[in-house]
Amino acid sequence: MGILDRFSLQGRVALITAGAGPLFGSSLSEALAEAGATVITASRSLQRNEDFAARLRDKGHDAYGLQFDISDCHSITELKEQVLSQFGRLDILVNSALARDGHVGSIGEQKADQCMASASGDFSGLFEICRQFVEPMIDQGCGSMINISSIYGVVSNDPNLYEGTEMKQPPTYNFVKAGMINYTRYLACYYGKYGVRANCISPGGYFANQPQPFLERYEQRVPLGRMMDNDDIQGAVVFLASDASRYVTGANLMVDGGWTCS
């Protein structure tokens, strides 16, 4: 098999949570579909996922939209049963969904119950979806789990970037994203002997029309001189999903323009 052939995802089934979302989700889904995978996107809005899947099919890809709630363990079970019933297997699981309930306010404004809401929606949901979908991967002897973390799971945010704006970086976000990285390492060590790989991607700041003072400070600090755009994550997810990374597990791939190396 040639090196380019190893990037092909033909014949594989991929589930991307929040895979129709405007931030990273839709870009992740498009990349995996273009690489040849059957793509399933799932989030709270069935209509959004079905509409997005229809757009992918219009481009000649094999895509489907389903519904689930990452903060509801019963909903995760139903999603697993639906995926296995309809598609027979799952080769690639990409977790990009967040339950944002607790990610509000700065550390001086947050309360313990908001922290618990965040942990319940984000970390517990991630725990459960990986736990459930690893089972069919073990049965088939292979699989790739990819969790979307953040630079703020590796380093703290710089408060100076936000001065003069109304932007805030809730501490629960750092808490959840850091835990995601080490949970991924645990999965890699525990399930590697079954042929299942687990890796993280940690993106840098994504351009979303933030206030100009923030944008200028961020771009001055990042070595590549700009914020991330919607396509910058695509190569990373195809690499980690494919046989091109068949000996890579437990890694946290930084896609941050050099932010964390400066």
Q: What is the pLDDT of residues 88-125, one digit of tens each?
A: 999 999 999 876 655 666 777 777 777 777 777 788 89
Q: What are the chain's domains?
A: 5-254 (3.40.50.720)
Alpha-carbon span 196 to 146, nearest angstrom: 11
pLDDT number for residue 104: 64
The mean per-residue pLDDT over the stretch 9-22 comes to 95
For 71-102, b/e burial (b = at least 16 CB within 10 A) is bbbebbeebbebbbeeeebbbbbbbbbbbeeb
Write out pLDDT tens, residues 116-159.
777 777 888 999 999 999 999 999 999 999 999 999 999 998 88
Beta strands per DSSP E along 139-260: 143-148, 196-203, 252-255
Q: How far is CA 255 from the centre of its chain?
A: 12
Alpha-carbon span 202 to 150, nearest angstrom: 4
Alpha-carbon span 198 to 129, nearest angstrom: 13
Give the dihedral sign, CA 247/146/33/258.
Answer: negative
Which tokens in the block code for residue 205?
Answer: 């700041």
The residue among 93, 20, 91 whose CA lies nearest residue 57 is 20
pLDDT number for residue 251: 98
pLDDT number for residue 159: 87
Contact, 156 vs 174, CB < 8 A? yes
Q: What angle do CA 255, 142, 15 make, to 5 degrees?
A: 55
